[in-house]
């Protein structure tokens, strides 16, 4: 085993590329494992990274547009949060960041 193989995954992940690409790759797996078919968007001008598709039990197709953002997960603290969530995350957005998506 070489030194490169012995390094922890976190060290290798630091050199893997942009966090945005890593986050989108993780998101694809999560969506797929939860019954969605993710399709990548190559042009991000409309702030859409994926189009998700799945069928309901009645055969109806559901589509969703998703923007993936990198963030860290933190264990929740208060009792009411622990009843609903395992982890929490937060991120600052510009006030008008999604204004173009209103219509």
Q: pLDDT value at position 57?
A: 92
pLDDT by 10s per residue, the chain, length 103: 455 555 555 666 666 567 777 778 888 999 999 999 998 866 666 778 888 999 999 999 999 988 887 778 889 988 998 899 888 887 788 888 888 877 7
Q: pLDDT value at position 94?
A: 86
pTM for the whole structure: 0.55
Give the span between the Cα atoms of 30 and 26, in whole angstroms: 6
Number of Cβ atoms within 10 Å of the Cβ of 28: 19
């Amino acid at each position: 085993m070489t030194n490169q193989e012995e390094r922890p995954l976190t060290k290798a992940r630091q050199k893997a590329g942009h966090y945005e690409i890593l986050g989108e790759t993780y998101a694809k797996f999560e969506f797929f494992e939860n019954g969605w078919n993710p399709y990548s968007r190559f042009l991000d001008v409309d702030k859409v990274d994926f189009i998700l598709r799945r069928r309901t039990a009645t055969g109806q197709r559901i589509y969703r547009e998703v923007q993936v953002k990198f963030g860290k997960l933190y264990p929740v603290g208060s009792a009411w949060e622990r009843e609903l969530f395992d982890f929490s995350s937060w991120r600052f957005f510009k006030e008008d960041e999604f204004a173009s998506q209103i219509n």
